[in-house]
Every structure is written in C-alpha cells, then in structure tokens.
Structure 1
C-alpha cells in the first residue's frame, strides 16, 4: 500500500496523497513496536 501511495503521489504531486502516505508510513512503523512489547511481556510477565 505504501508503494502504491508513493507512486500515485509522484505521478500527481497531490499533497493529500503525500499526507496519506506519511500517515500510512507512521502506522506501519508503530505496529512492529507494539508487537515487540507484547512479545516481551509474554516472555517476561510483570508480576
């Protein structure tokens, strides 16, 4: 999805498309971090 959004922005120069790209990019970066913390909690539960 990021690749498509970026290519669309490059072709159109639409600012809204760029903002959508940045929002998707931010969400994509947040997901792995939350998964890492969940795995850490599973391995080392807080007592």
Structure 2
C-alpha cells in the first residue's frame, strides 16, 4: 500500500497523497514485528 501511495504522490505531487503516505508510514512503525521491518533486516542486516 505504501509503494502505491508513494508512486501516486511522485507522479501527481498531490499533498493529500503525501500526507496519507506519511500516516501509513507512522502506523507501520507502531506495529511491532511489521513484515516490512523484517524484510529490511534481511536485506540490510546490521553490521
């Protein structure tokens, strides 16, 4: 969902879409064990 929202914002420049993206981003950070976080750790492990 975040990828789609960002793509729409980048193509349109619509501020409401950007604000929706930021809201989704914040909600994802509040959820422990988020799948995106787990994938990021696999792709970019801590050194």
Query: Which category describes the TM-score, using the shorter chain as reference length?
Result: 0.5 to 0.7
Could you tell me which runs of 5 or more consecutive residues in structure 1 were left unpaired when the two chains were aligned: 34-47
TM-score (norm 2): 0.67
Task: State the aligned residue count.
Answer: 33
Could you tell me which runs of 5 or more consecutive residues in structure 2 were left unpaired when the two chains were aligned: 34-47
Flag as ranges the 4+ runs of structure 1 deviating above 6 A. Answer: none
Q: Give the structure with the larger helix fraction.
A: 1
Looking at CA atoms only, which structure, 1 or 2, has the larger radius of gyration? 1
TM-score (norm 1): 0.67
- RMSD of aligned Cα (Å): 1.1
